[in-house]
Amino acid sequence: MAQGYGAVGGNFRGRSGGRLCGAFQRNEYARYARDTAHKRGKVLCLTGTACLFRAGARRTSSRRAHQAASLRPKASTTRRR
């Protein structure tokens, strides 16, 4: 993170076993690793399994999410008859 990145994550490998669900999970880990390698380490999203964010990046993300939410039209609370 010393190179100015806002967050870091990891690639994972699954153990053998787990029947069909385990095979699906190992396949997803392998697909994500290939995708990350193809993009030279740059990803569109971080895994929820393990990632580390800079505090400033998290604050910026939160602020932008709140700004976007304030631009959405509000749901009507009146009932139509």
Sequential pLDDT tens for the chain (81 residues): 677 788 888 888 889 999 999 999 999 999 989 998 999 888 878 877 778 889 999 999 999 999 988 887 876 666 666
Give the model's pLDDT for residue 67. 92
What does pTM read for this prediction?
A: 0.57
Where residue 54 falls (left for φ over 0; alpha for ψ -120 to 50; beta otherwise) is: beta
Residue with tokens 């669900």: 21
